[in-house]
Amino acid sequence: MTPQGLAAMASMLVLGIFLGRQSMSSRPDSPQHTFRRALADAGVSTQGNHIPTHHQGFYMPKESSLFYNMAVSTGTDKVSNKPHHHAYEFLYSKYFETMHRRSATQKLLEIGLGCTMGYGPGASSKLWRMFLPDAEVWQAEYNAACVKETQAKLDEVGVKVVTGDQSDTTVLHRWIKETGGDFDVIIDDGGHTNMQMYNSFIVLFEHALKAGGVYIIEDIGMSRTYVDGDRNHIAIDWIKEWLDMTVMHNPVEPAEEGHAFVKHFGLPRHIKSIECSTGICAFTKCRLSDDRCANQYADHSLISYSDSGTALATAGKK
């Protein structure tokens, strides 16, 4: 075949692929139609918007993210549609959409109803109900009076609530009993103090999160602002140390003089991976069949209360 013939054949092939994509995207069961229907259900207009058939790179542009668009429609500050808002759509879109875990999420717990937010409580509840329409969704909140005032809205979207202090391990174990635990996803968007973040993680990651699930902590940027409890367990510090132990295999290789690892915090068992972006980290829990995960705590300690807090914390208290 002549070069001209090969070029013509290549052009026809490219045109055929393009037309095929156009035809597939116009089908009522195509991902683009599904995406547009979901946005329409969320009250988000897609008129004139281009919903791409694919994207370049290893994370989703926010304009293509169902999570981002639904979050914007509910008014939550989780996404970067306004200058003072967070940009958590990177991790949420990646874990739920790029990894195709949205439909597999059957049960979710978020700590923090939003009672102190200017836009009022319940924005996240509405978001999770829209984004995970078939999932069992729970919220945990310290302010029981706020929950009582918001109860009708929560009932309307089918979201259940537990109340109490997330830094109190007795309360955390009560939450597990009341909710039944076994969560696919746990999100800490609560009070953002170090004691709250640390104790909640130590208890709930171990006892309330399914194997293979993900635990997400938001607003980690506040960890040097609210220095409470024993004043040593700064969230970003123990996260960095856990990352070091996870990457370096807790660490077993000898270090050169002056570069030895100094351990301050114990590594919780069953951490498979840690991934962070601005203000937020996601911790994936090992599957039961995974023999490359730590199965023993390096340290069982929890943050002890000093002048802050409401109760004494002990590792085994239930």
Average pLDDT over residues 242-265: 80
**Between 177 and 312, residue with greater pLDDT:** 177
Token pair recorded at residue 315 = 């590792």
The residue type at 4: Q
280 pLDDT higher than 80: yes
pLDDT above 90 as % of the chain: 46
Cα 288 to Cα 183, 200, 213, 315: the distances in Å are 15, 22, 11, 23
CA torsion sign for 121, 127, 129, 132 is negative
pLDDT top residue among 49 and 85: 85
